[in-house]
Structure 1
């Protein structure tokens, strides 16, 4: 088969050159469209199920949330195994699928099973799916540089403005906020006053929940104009919560302020974010979606950050604390320089040892064509251009050149043997007789001198 292929290539040189030129052009296009990242994504194909039930101990979370979810998610198709972690107030279930399973198909299967498993959980508990990212999806971290603004205001700017703006960038799975305080109304009950007024905690919770609501009315027309009736009942201040009535005692209403202390404060935190030992900071983590181009997504996020910065309060700006694009650029540049150096060195060595420019060109031209063609395969198998893949290409240059050198040497050897055989045949071939240095010619033609044979 190889001999037939070689014969076909020798007889159709123009076709071979056109195919090589086409592969090289396709390879150049593949280089430009290849996904670029610093490190390969070797994380498992997993779907994360997150459930929050604040205030409960890890043992209760394990018994009432984690165990029912794990037992119901184990029967999914193409699942290798299910892992879980229970901690204070939170449960994490990791469903690991086979490597060739489509991640979005896996998320659909998990979501279908969660609709059934949710009825086994306590009331008010709702499990949710984690972002469609991977373990190496954290591509950019940033903080808000806001001198003079308290941490609660910074977190509000992050959650209600910056986060929504950056989530619209293509390829971003999630903007995870960190640091600061999440503002909330906190009602601290006094047990002695509850006992005095014969009230229970559920009664207070129910009264506050019932008074934090809006009710719709109806629409009526008057003089050709339509009016919509509604009631505005959402709580907007601490004072409104304090004035909520709980019951009536001797025609006197008992309010929330009579049994509790109401204040605006931050949600209980499980940790803090400190920046360079200079104090707490507020910011976010950009999580890249599965299978996206990290370098392209980072560039789009930075462009969006420049647009979002125009709407920030005066004096507030972004401070990028981690940016993978720098590592990507350094890694790709290092490997690219290595590839260029190897190509130059190999080309010089081939020319020096063969001392035949046509053979050297035929070998050297294989290097760029083969490297460009390798990017076609990288894109076909959805492999990014990273340190591992580019290093493999650099190591393969020696194998590429060895093949051409072996073929050239083999051709030289066979041509030399063939030339020696032809020369030997010419030396041993008998010569026609001559008369006085002239060779007789038949049919009465004039004799002509015989030219001595030139030895090669």
Structure 2
């Protein structure tokens, strides 16, 4: 079989060159389409269900949230395992699927089961799915450089402007905010005044909740004109909160300012984000979707950040905290450098020892085609180009080079011996 293949190749050089050119072009296409990342994705095929019920102890979360969810999610097909964790005010359920299961099919089946399981949970407790990313999906971190700006203002810019803009980038599953303070109106109530006016905390909560709302009315026609009636009630500043009426006391409305004080503050935090010991900063973590090209996603995020930066307040800019594309590009450059070095070394060896430029040309053609076929196989089996696979290719270049030198030298020697035998026979 091998003899026939060699004979066919020798008699049909044009066909061999055409097939080689096609393989090389296919390899270039595979390089462009194959996902490139620095770290191989060894994480499990999982769907995360997150439930928040603030103020409840871990035991209450376990009994009333985690246990009902786990017991009702177990019937989903193709599940390998279910893990769960309960903590103060939060519940996490990790549904591990088989490796060959499509992640978006898995998320759909989990959502179907959650529609039923939610009826078993306490009122106003809504479980949500985690982002459709993997354990190595944190590809890019950034923070705001805003000297002199309040951390609450920075967090507001991140949450209500930057985050929404970056989430529109193709391949981004989520932009998780970190650092700073989430701004909130804080009511500090006086128990003695509340007792005097006969007001309890639920009265205050219901009054504030009802007042912070827009309500609609009917259409009103007058003098051949139609007017839409609606009530504007969204809170815009501290004074709006102070003027909210809670109840009547001796025919006089009791307002929020009569029983306490209102101030702007930040929500309770579980941690901070510090920049090299220079102080707190506010930023975000870009999470990549399943199977996306990390290098393309990061470059697209950087381009989007340049557009977003134009709309930031004066003096506010972006700074990169972690950029995986640097490692990716270095890994690619390493393979390119190894390939070029090996091609130069092989060419010099063949030219010096054999003095035959066609033999050197054969090896120069063989090396890039072999690398191209490697990327074709990576693309066919769904393996990303990462440090592990690229390192394997870089090591394999040495084997290809050795094989090329040995084969060319052996062919050259055999041809020379045969030529000498023919010359002797003719004499």
TM-score by length of 1: 0.85
Range with greater deviation from structure 2 (24-33 or 120-129):
24-33
> 1:121–1:189: structure 2 CA closer, same or farther, 3 Å change rule?
farther
**Within 2, Cα distance between the matches of 1:127 and 1:379?**
37
What SS class does the counterpart of residue 139 from structure 2 fall into?
strand
8 Å Cα contact 1:342-1:394 kept in structure 2: no
8 Å Cα contact 2:343-2:367 kept in structure 1: yes
**Within 2, Cα distance between the matches of 1:140 and 1:279?**
21
Aligned to 1:22: 22
> 1:6–1:93: structure 2 CA closer, same or farther, 3 Å change rule?
same
Q: Does 1:324 align with 2:324?
A: yes
CA offsets 1:167-204 (integer angstroms, 9 cap, x no match) = 11111111111111111122344455545554443333
Aligned to 1:116: 116
Aligned to 1:296: 296
> 1:315–1:352: structure 2 CA closer, same or farther, 3 Å change rule?
same
Aligned to 1:99: 99
What is the RMSD of the two structures over their aligned residues, measured on CA atoms?
Answer: 2.7
Give 1:279-290 correspondences, 5 Å limit. 279-290=279-290
**Within 1, Cα distance between the matches of 2:335 and 2:397?**
13
CA offsets 1:61-119 (integer angstroms, 9 cap, x no match) = 12211222222222222221112222211112221222222111111111111111111
Aligned to 1:308: 308
Range with greater deviation from structure 2 (412-421 or 25-34):
412-421
**Within 1, Cα distance between the matches of 2:412 and 2:242?**
99
Aligned to 1:172: 172
8 Å Cα contact 2:342-2:401 kept in structure 1: no
Aligned to 1:125: 125
Instruction: State the shift of 1:6 in Å.
Output: 3.2
8 Å Cα contact 2:141-2:321 kept in structure 1: yes
Aligned to 1:341: 341
8 Å Cα contact 2:51-2:92 kept in structure 1: yes
Instruction: State the shift of 1:395 in Å.
Output: 1.6
CA offsets 1:128-178 (integer angstroms, 9 cap, x no match) = 111111222222221111122111111111111111121111111111111
8 Å Cα contact 2:78-2:101 kept in structure 1: yes
8 Å Cα contact 2:82-2:95 kept in structure 1: yes
Give 1:403-422 correspondences, 5 Å limit. 403-404=403-404
> 1:244–1:367: structure 2 CA closer, same or farther, 3 Å change rule?
same
What SS class does the counterpart of residue 184 from structure 1 fall into?
strand
8 Å Cα contact 2:145-2:317 kept in structure 1: yes
8 Å Cα contact 1:118-1:126 kept in structure 2: yes
**Within 2, Cα distance between the matches of 1:411 and 1:346?**
16
What SS class does the counterpart of residue 365 from structure 1 fall into?
helix
**Within 2, Cα distance between the matches of 1:314 and 1:407?**
66
Aligned to 2:90: 90
- Unmatched tracts of structure 1, length 5 or more: 427-453
**Within 2, Cα distance between the matches of 1:303 and 1:422?**
68
> 1:183–1:17: structure 2 CA closer, same or farther, 3 Å change rule?
same
Aligned to 2:366: 366
Instruction: State the shift of 1:60 in Å.
Output: 1.5
Aligned to 1:75: 75
Give 1:173-188 correspondences, 5 Å limit. 173-188=173-188
TM-score by length of 2: 0.90
> 1:278–1:358: structure 2 CA closer, same or farther, 3 Å change rule?
closer
Query: How many residue pairs align between the two structures?
Result: 427
> 1:301–1:229: structure 2 CA closer, same or farther, 3 Å change rule?
same
From the CA coordinates, give the structure whose radius of gyration is larger. 1
8 Å Cα contact 1:211-1:234 kept in structure 2: yes
Instruction: State the shift of 1:369 in Å.
Output: 1.0
> 1:191–1:62: structure 2 CA closer, same or farther, 3 Å change rule?
farther
What SS class does the counterpart of residue 116 from structure 2 fall into?
helix
Aligned to 1:231: 231
> 1:373–1:207: structure 2 CA closer, same or farther, 3 Å change rule?
same
CA offsets 1:288-317 (integer angstroms, 9 cap, x no match) = 222222222222211111111111111111
